[in-house]
Every structure is written in C-alpha cells, then in structure tokens.
A and B are shown apart, each in its own frame.
Chain A
C-alpha cells in the first residue's frame, strides 16, 4: 500500500463517517429505486436531514 492509497483511505473514511456522502447515496438510491421521481437539491436534502434529527434525537452515552 502506498502513501497515496493510505491518504485516499483516510479521506474516504472521513467522508463516510461524517455523513458527507449521504447526499450521493440518496441520489443513487432515488435513481435506482424510483427512476421517475424528482431528486432533491443538496440544500433541500441537507435541510430535510437536519430536521429529521430534530424529531429523532440520538442518545450519547457517558
């Protein structure tokens, strides 16, 4: 494994774990499962997602 691969791995992990890839995943999901449905813009999607967290709080342990 080269240094480049390692850096790419770290970048992949950070993007996944922070949820940055959520939008790409959503677009892929809609295109695959509902090809005729409209796809939300990134801004709308992120807004929806943040507001969902309003209604479903996640506990953090001690």
Chain B
C-alpha cells in the first residue's frame, strides 16, 4: 500500500509540473518566457509517456515475453549476435540514431515560432516516433534481426518490397546531399572552420594507424588522443584565421570548391578500408556528439536563457516564410523529422540493435527511451534557435537571394519581413564570432552555433568565437560521419541490388565494382549537393522539404510494416497504435508532396516555379533572385528535377500503403474464416538469461541478480 500510494503521489506531481509548464508555454503572451518552461513541459511529458503509454504498448500490444530467448541469446556467436548490457546497447543505439537531424530541423522550423515545433517534437515522439522505433525493434528482434526491407518484402509482397528499397535508397541520396549542403554553408569562406574540419582527416588517419598497428583495440586512449588533437585543431583554426596570410587564403574556400571537396571525400571514405578513416572518425564523432549534447543540456539548465522568438509567427499561417515556403500544416511536420518521427531510425532499429538485445522487455528502454532522448536534443535545438534575436535569426537563415550580401541589404530585407535589426548589429554579431559575415548562412548549423555560443559564453563568461567554432566543428564532424558511413551503406545496397543482375558487381572485394558503385552513389548525392550550392533560390530552401518528405516516406513504410505485423498477429484491435501515426504521417507527407507538385504558387510548387521561370526566360527576362540567363536555366532544371522527385515519393508511398491494405484485408478475412495465418516469427526457445528491464535495476531485479551470481550462473 505504502509504495503504491507513493507511486501515485509522485506521478501526480510529475503530471502537474508538466501540465503547468505546458500552460505557461502555450498561454503566456506579451512577455518573454524562460526556456526552463519548455524543458519542464518536455521532460514531464516524456516521463508520463514512458511510464504509461510505452508500458501499455509493451505489455498489451506487443506482449513482450521475457521467458522467450532473444536472438542475441539463441544465436550468440560473439560477433554480431551477442547479449549486450542494456545500458551499453542504449548508448550504441542512441549514438546511431541521433546526429545532426534533430539539431537542424528544429532550427529551421523556428521560423514558425517556438510553439508549433515544440508541440510536434514532444507529441510526435510520444505517439509516433518512439512508437515506430520500438515496434520495429521488437518485430525485427522476433525475426532474428531482419532488416526493414526484408520484412517489407516478406510481409507485404514484392511490390511493397521494391518500393521500400527505392524509398530507402532515395532518402539516402537526398539525406546525404542535404547534410553535405549544411556543412558547405557552415564552412564557406570560413578559414577557421574549414581548417579545423580539414584537420580531422589527418587526425583520423593517425588514430586509425595507432589502433591498427601500435595499440590494437585500445579505443579509449586512442579517442582521448584524437579529442585532444581536435581541440588543438580548433585553436589552430583561430590562429590560421588571424594570421590572414597565404595559409588563411588556402582554407578560404567558396561553396562550389567545398562541394567538390566533400564529394571527393565521400568517394575516398567509401573505397578506403574502414579502419583507416571511417572507424576512427566514428569514435571521434560519437564522443564529441555525446559530449556536446551533455554540455548543451548543462548550459541550458545553468543559464536558463530567455526566449526571444515569438510563440507563433505570422509565417505559420501565411506560408510566406523566407527559410522554407509553406504553412504550418504540413511543413512543420516535414521540416522536423528527426526528433519527432524519423523513418531512418527504422533502419537502425532493424539493424544491429535487435541482434544484441538481452531481454524482450528491454525494447521499451532502448527503442522508446533512446528516441525520447533524441527528442529532447531537438527541444534543446529549438531553444538554442529561439534565444537569438528574431532579426538576427532571419538575417542568418534567409537565402542570399532574399537578404543580399551586405549588412545593409540584409538589414533592409529583415525589416521588410517585419523584424528589425540594424546593419551595425549584424556586423557586431559576425565580429563577435570572428567571422567575415553571418548573412544567409542557411542550413541551421550556423544558427545553432550562434545560439550555443550565446549559451556557453553566458555559462563560462566569454570566448564566444571559440564556442561558435567549437559548435560548427562538432556539427560538421558528425554530419561528415553520416555522409561517409551513408555513402558506404548506399554503395553496399547498390552492389547488392546490381549483384542480382550481374554477379561480379555484388562481390564486395572486386575493386572495379567497388569503385563503380561508389562513384554512382557519390554522383547521385553530389548532383543534388552541387545543384543546391549553386541554386539561385537557395539550396536549403529548395531541398530541405524534399529531405523531410523522403524521411517521412520511410516512416510511412516502417509504420505500414508494423501495422501489417500487428494485424497478422491477430491484434487488429490494437493496430491503431501504429495505424493512427501512419494515417497522420500519410496526411502530412501526401499534402506536402501535393503542394510541392501542384501548388500554383511559384514559391511553393516546383512546377509552378518551373513555369514562371521558363516563361520569363523565353521572354528574355530575368526574375529575381536569378541574375543571369544561366541562373534562370538552373532554376528551371532544379525545379523540374525536384518536382519529379516529390511526385515520385508520393507515388511510392501510395503503392506501399495500397499493397499493404490488400494484405490487411486478406489477413483479416482469413482470420475471420479461422484459416491459419502463417507467422514469420522465430520459434519460441526458453530463455536462461536474466537481466533488468530498465536502465536502473529495481530492488527486486538487483536481488535476483545477486541470487544468480551466488548460484554461480
């Protein structure tokens, strides 16, 4: 009775704190509110969701069974299948799902105000994102760690399977292009940033060599050396910049050159052995990622900054925002994918994680819990963007076509948008972080770095330029890790697919095949990167919506597979758990694709844009922001390609869902007629392992662990 009463009391308090915080966030108007309220609202909601909703799904819907041995226990081979401590696996899984996505999307979505983004991040993760991650992890675990593509093919059929494969590949290409574009925008004409990032390549080689030859397997000391060198590289970047001589010039690169550097880097990373470049960079980036996220959390909690952004800006309804076009529905839900609902996670949740999980009940901690943590990273990102003065935010995030290239033109453009910032203030903001200019630094990374520099400089009393470049460096570092790992994964997928047609190309050791497939993957994302860099309308503005649509498309595939599996397991009455988020995701993605394809507004619809620019071109006119006839050609080509892609994504989703609906109907009919439905689950084997379910073991679980150790098992 005592513990039950205490539990009720504690959860009532948590619910009350969360509810009050939401009330303040949503209702207080006309005065600036502290970021503390956003943090409290998010954390309170997560706690309630984890305690009640996730538990309900695990117990009632999925019916996890700890008497059943997991693939890690049954197939333990000491390599890819092995039971791994839940806290360790949580770390691995989180490091694999969280990257630049939850940091970039919320920053861009801040143009609608902090409220819509925050609500979507918190509500979306609770009912969609974390549910997707956890159910896919569970279903893959019950099938010995099958991938999402395999499950789609087996459960839905060849058509759904092929569409799923296409979806995975196209999201990979767009994702890599957009992320690389973020890096280019952050490093362009910045010798400090470019020098620091360039240095990570020799540092990685050094670490790789050390790990391979000198001290095999000593990851921690190698990483410590790497991090020390990395911090030196940031300091060194400052010296290079101040020297102002030939060295500074050598690292002052224009966007196009940087794009080609990244393309060459992606190719090299895909063909070189992993131990040389990819593995050491991965250690470095994982360490920096966790370290910086923790630092950001501490910074926000210590300084509790005040939000300058409006709760809801006029762009939410007008759809005329400069950062990306379109109104709140559906574009907030497209722009913020990672952190709320990210289809890409289903690839991780059906990859290595299900092969390492010790007990079935741990899917709640690892699948749902890690995603809640990513969501919190997204909330911190929206806070970091919202503590900036709105005038500064728009000067940084509007494309060059809108704000021009001087502080005067930017100040005027921001005034026309309805916000205020003086040319002097813009100059000062750039000087404070020792950058030449911060105007039209789109892509989210520089904005986040400005916000983080503000927070860290507030907490440590200065060194704003160092913190700015620290933030830029770590973002670029882990974006590049996604780019190099992604190129490699894309190459394997391509080799695998083409190998069905012509055997030799499928062999991972056949060099010409490796070079050819790497080149194709790099060319695919390189094309979009280059188009984005040179796009007169601004690459982020054009491409980010496509990235969001592609990611949500993959989420639709994952939620469709999960719904299909629930129905096949005879749990039609619980299918809403994944079917409702699926329906919402479909509404969002299809509306967004529809508007991107059919809208008559040239700012929003790709084909309307194409028509406007091609008509003008035929008349010999030049439409702003294009400046030459060649610019006009670029806009026409880009909007055609982007429009076709948006249409293709919509068709893919419709195909997958219709194909799945056919399977649903057939399955339900068979169940009604009491015909047996075959299951693809691995057979039940009694488990002999014991491990706690949550991150922190309960007293009873600890007692049980002690008994088992005592019994010598």
Contact = CB atoms under 8 A, between A and B. Distances in A.
Nearest to B345: A61
A4 interface: no
Interface in A5-44: 13-20, 22-23, 25-26, 29-30, 42-43
B96 A42 contact: no
B101 A42 contact: no
A22 B100 contact: no
Given A50-B212, A50-B274, A62-B175, A57 B219 contact: no
| Max chain B C-beta neighbours (<10 A), residue from A20, A61, A62 | A62
B338 A62 contact: yes
Contacts of A17: 88, 91-92
What range describes how many residues of A lie at the interface?
20 to 34
A59 B220 contact: no
A55 interface: yes
Interface string B40-84: 000000000000000000000000000000000000101110100
Interface in B166-220: 175, 179, 211-212, 216-220
Contact of A53 (B279, B348, B351): B279
Contact of A29 (B78, B220, B345, B482): B78
A57 B219 CA distance: 18
B342 A61 contact: yes
Interface in B480-507: 481-482, 485-486, 488-489, 492
Contacts of A52: 79
Contacts of A18: 219-220, 223, 283
A50 B272 CA distance: 12
| Max chain A C-beta neighbours (<10 A), residue from B88, B91, B92, B212 | B88
Nearest to A43: B216
Interface residues of B, number: 54
B482 A62 contact: yes
B338 A59 contact: no
Contacts of B279: 50, 53
- B contact face: mostly helix, strand, loop, or mixed: helix
A6 to B, nearest CB: 14
A29 B344 CA distance: 33
Given A62-B175, A62-B482, A57 B220 contact: no
B99 A60 contact: yes
Contacts of B219: 18-20
Contacts of B508: 54-55
B352 interface: yes
A15 B508 CA distance: 31
A50 to B, nearest CB: 4
Contacts of B102: 62
Contacts of A45: 216-217
Contacts of A51: 273-275
B96 A58 contact: yes
Contacts of A13: 87-88, 91
A47 B478 CA distance: 25
Contacts of B97: 61
B457 interface: no
Nearest to A56: B80
Interface string B266-282: 00000001110011001
Given A16-B88, A26-B78, A57 B274 contact: yes
Contacts of B342: 61-62
B180 to A, nearest CB: 12
Nearest to B478: A60
Nearest to B337: A62
Contacts of A54: 273-275, 508
Contact of A60 (B91, B96, B551): B96
Given A16-B88, A61-B101, A61-B344, A53 B78 contact: no
A60 B82 contact: no
Contacts of A58: 96, 351-352, 485, 489
Nearest to B102: A62
B87 A53 contact: no
B85 interface: yes
Given A53-B275, A60-B481, 15 more contacts: A17-B88, A18-B219, A45-B216, A50-B275, A57-B492, A59-B351, A60-B282, A60-B478, A60-B482, A60-B486, A61-B96, A61-B97, A61-B345, A62-B100, A62-B179
Interface of A: 13-20, 22-23, 25-26, 29-30, 42-43, 45-47, 49-62
Rank and list the top 6 A-B pairs by shortest CB-CB distance, nearest first: A62-B101, A46-B216, A29-B78, A18-B219, A50-B275, A46-B217
19 contacts: A18-B219, A18-B283, A19-B217, A22-B217, A29-B78, A30-B78, A50-B274, A53-B275, A54-B508, A57-B485, A57-B489, A58-B96, A58-B485, A59-B348, A59-B485, A59-B486, A61-B344, A61-B348, A62-B338
